């Protein structure tokens, strides 16, 4: 009996070893430079999430081709409504943005979102719709405070672990590496314009430029709405909300970037926060923006 137990024990150990070796292997293949372990999510998964959010953004920015006939028939064709609102043509034939009347029914738990009031909602659509109803003083508004309702992070509310000092001190390195890897990935997929691609090439060959080019690129990318050479907390949303559930350091990290606490992150603050030497940062957003749009 004891022998059997030992045998089974050894077998389990062997299987576990095999498993961890194959995982390590996979990690080594996907990760480019990271050797250090971290308590957060494996870096290659984070990259995937970041890329997915970027793809979604790109899709949102894509406008359907304009069709004069259609525009004539449907004034909503050209109207852009903010989150939680949809276009309706009113009685006198004018396109208007009104609160979304119905959100798609979500059965997938992964669509759940946690609000800034630490309440779990079925989807982000429901949060934006409620905020719209409250902004419009509609009877559907459940709480006047919901005028300020927003998505804190994707995923059901949970007790987020505290970001420890050691995790925080390693975070700038991890963030730099994700940004660089994502930039490289997009270049490989030929989704970047010529100036961008040149920046990637430069980053690949010149170590001094590696992190700074990636940082400048992401910062320019975030500073698009509006383009004012400062990234607001609102503009940080695409990198904060999708990651916070898995990466509890991202929110405190991004807060820390806003050193003077004016709710804006300048390129200098962004560079400091990613621990990139100042003299290697050059702002070239106009170039990038022209290629992005
Ligand atoms: C890993 O962490 C140690 C200590 O925190 C640090 O000295 C080392 O440079 C790190 N290695 C990499 C590849 O970042
Ligand atoms: C938010 O809600 C979750 C789940 O209900 C709970 O575990 C957590 O402690 C709450 N967080 C805060 C900051 O109240
Ligand atoms: C790398 O970039 C730095 C900073 O712009 C520059 O001074 C240096 O000459 C470059 N090195 C090479 C090999 O291109």
The residue extents of the domains of the chain are 2-62, 75-154, 165-292
- 268-292 tens-digit pLDDT: 899 999 999 887 787 767 766 666 5
* Average pLDDT, 10 consecutive residues per value, the chain (293 residues): 43 38 39 44 61 52 48 77 92 92 86 94 94 95 94 92 93 91 86 82 88 89 82 86 86 91 90 88 69 55
CA-to-CA distance for 173 and 37, rounded, in angstroms?
12
Question: Which ligand approaches the C-alpha of residue 165 most closely?
Answer: 1
Mean pLDDT score of the chain: 78
User: Closest Cα to atom 3, ligand 1: which residue?
Assistant: 36
75-154, what's its fold? Wheat Germ Agglutinin (Isolectin 2); domain 1 (3.30.60)
Q: How far is the CA of 119 from the centre of ligand 2 (A)?
A: 8
- The atom of ligand 1 lying closest to the CA of 35 is 13
Is the beta carbon of 53 within 6 A of some atom in ligand 3? no
**Please, are residues 266 and 278 in contact by the beta-carbon 8 Å criterion?**
no
The fold for domain 165-292 equals Recoverin; domain 1 (1.10.238)
Ligand (nearest to CA of 174): 1
DSSP letter for each residue of 54-81: HHHHHHHHPPPPP-HHHHHH-GGGG---
Q: How much distance in Å is there from the Cα of 152 to the middle of ligand 2?
A: 12
Task: Tell me, yes or no, if the pTM score tops 0.85.
Answer: no
């Amino acid at each position: 009996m004891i022998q059997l137990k030992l045998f089974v024990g050894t077998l389990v150990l062997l299987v576990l070893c095999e498993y961890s070796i194959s995982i390590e292997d996979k990690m080594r293949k996907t990760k480019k430079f990271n050797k250090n372990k971290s308590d957060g999510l494996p870096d290659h998964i984070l990259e995937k999430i970041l890329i997915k959010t970027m793809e979604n953004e790109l899709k949102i920015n894509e406008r359907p081709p304009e069709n004069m006939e259609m525009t004539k028939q449907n004034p909503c064709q050209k109207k852009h409504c903010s989150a939680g609102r949809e276009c309706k043509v009113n009685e006198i034939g004018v396109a208007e943005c009104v609160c979304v009347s119905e959100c798609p029914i979500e059965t997938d738990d992964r669509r759940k979102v946690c609000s800034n009031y630490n309440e779990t909602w079925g989807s982000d659509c429901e949060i934006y719709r409620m905020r719209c109803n409250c902004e419009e003083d509609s009877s559907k508004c459940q709480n006047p405070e919901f005028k300020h309702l927003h998505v804190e992070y994707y995923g059901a509310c949970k007790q987020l672990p505290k970001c420890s000092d050691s995790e925080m001190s390693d975070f700038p390195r991890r963030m730099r590496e994700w940004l660089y890897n994502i930039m490289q990935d997009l270049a490989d997929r030929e989704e970047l314009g010529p100036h961008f691609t040149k920046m990637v090439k430069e980053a690949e060959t010149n170590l001094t430029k590696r992190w700074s080019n990636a940082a400048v690129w992401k910062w320019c990318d975030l500073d698009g709405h509006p383009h004012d050479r400062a990234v607001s907390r609102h503009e940080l949303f695409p990198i904060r909300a999708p990651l916070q559930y898995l990466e509890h350091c991202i929110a405190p990290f991004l807060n820390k970037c806003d050193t003077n606490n004016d709710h804006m992150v300048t390129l200098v603050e962004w560079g400091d926060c990613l621990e990139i030497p100042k003299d290697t940062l050059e702002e070239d957003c106009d170039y990038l923006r022209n290629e992005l749009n």
